[in-house]
Structure 1
Amino acid sequence: EMHTQVFAGRENDLLLVGEMPGVTVPDARLFTDPARAELSMVFQFEHVSLDHGATKFEPVPLALPRLKASLAGWQDGLGEVGWNSLYWSNHDQPRAVSRFGDDGRWWRESATALATVLHLHRGTPFVYQGEELGMTNAPWADVTQMRDIESINYDAQARAAGADPQRVLDGLRSHGRDNARTPMQWDDGPLAGFGTGTPWLPVNPNHTWLNAAAQVGVPGSVFEHYRALIALRHTDPVVVEGSFHLLLPDDPDLWVFERRLDGHPSLLVAANCSGRPRALPAELDGWQDAESVLSNYPSGPTDTLAPWEARILRERDRTPVRPRGAR
């Protein structure tokens, strides 16, 4: 009915995205099947719920194989019919680099690695404001600095139930929605260039070095890496149209997958999602002589990935060795 009354005849002018907590892959396939003329794509929440414990403010460690499997399941499920939305962040989620990466020593590397992995999946990437700079969670002193009613109510209820105040605060710091709602960090000025009045939430103090002015046009910055990823999507049809094949699904550190499209050289994406160097396994030897398309590190050893290093490789002869266990 929505399509008939509102969207009919305007399909080429509109992008229709449905936010659907709890949606399954089969349902998403139906909703985004072009033949049904309902939605262009859906926002699913499976991958951003994997680290929730009894509540989202009681997070549990997230093993990389679970995260890989979740996103790969959506790639496989919507590979032939429908379409994926790709995202790490939105106004209700903590900052991606603080949640899935390392916002300390490996801040730049992990921010760019996460971007590389996501943008090389099949689907439409969504970039939430500040994500392209690697903005982090805020260092909340206590709940009085927060404005989100969900966080304020949880704090009161958990304390009333006898929960440890420090653990409550830790959960709010890591998963509170206000992390995504601090002012955009434009420059290193007193209010990060956001305005001259009093902002709704405090400016993250790291704006003195983490801001747009410090990154735009600066080679190797998080911002310029996002630009390069977006440019690649516009120039290589494999990124947009290629099939997705997850490799090494059980590796605890390496996120590796291949993109294939008939008539075009395949791409390999390899990211080390850990703070220690990792040797590339023998299964990937067929890619040793591949062309380097993009990396978040300067050129280094071809058989090792540095901490949070991500590489995009393009085959030279169009006949790479298919790693064992490829999906």
Structure 2
Amino acid sequence: MKITIEEREAAQDIEVTIVCVRVDRRVLDIAARLRMLDRKVTGTADGCTRVLSAEDVSRTVSVDKHTFIYTADTVLETGLRLYEMEERLADCDFLCIAKGCIVNFRAITALKPDVNGRIIATLENGEQVVISRQYAPDVKSKLGLKQSKRRKEGRKTEMINRDIIDTDKKTPVENLGQLVKSTCIGFTVAMIAFLALGTCFADDTAKQGINYCWSILAACVTVPALQFVFFTPAVIRRMAYPARLVLFSVCLYAALCALAFVFAWVSADNPGAWVTFTVVYLAILAVLTLAFNAKLSRETRELNDRLAEYRKSRETE
């Protein structure tokens, strides 16, 4: 990269012109860095007002209609609303990571996928912030891993406005996934309808099988319900992943045992059958846990490899 400094007595302000073959991510990053040097924000702490450069801000948080600016070593309050800060810093490499938080992407040193599609980001000062499931695709998009869902939705809206139907290109895997999803939804709705009719009008012989199907449906509902309780912040906000896994496993086993006893999946007076039931449950749980942890490890490596590339490109500017 060639840097040329030219003095002009008639100049009113510092002007930077970037000449390049084409605009790529590196060029956009250089422009963002220059804007950060020129962009100032003010905040107060202990009755004193400080003027900060945008690059000194690690994150901005809104709490109870108050907006706070976090730096590496202090917290200041600003009179600007969060959306005003977001607008002011939007072209300075800041990114919204949750409903009430925007973060300086340059201040992120590590990323780790969390349960329910969230990402844990570690900042330069060691603090950790949660990137919500809604905004995680934006982070991955910035690192070049996948396209942001909101960008896709914007493209779909543009196509709809042109009176073009279903022109959003999808990969064969995406089309297959949509087909499987539609089939599962249709099958579930049809089964519930027919089970309800069978419960009302079938004879006693048929009702035994119908009740068995109802028990399978109950088990299928129990699993996502317990996942919602133990693997989302909606019910339990702070708990280590191993503790969540243990509680989920115990509660699911108890629920399945109750269904097995009530609907006679396993003979109540056959201890060997219950031992087999327990062994099969633990085996399936172990396989799924190992598969999930392997996926989590792969995503962690991928995120941090891309983040390292991103940070290295900043250091060479």
Task: Decide: shared fold, TM above 0.5.
Answer: no
Higher relative contact order (CA 8 A, sep 6+): 1
More helix by share: 2
TM range, smaller chain: under 0.3
TM-score, structure 2 length as denominator?
0.25
TM-score by length of 1: 0.24
**Larger Rg: 1 or 2?**
2
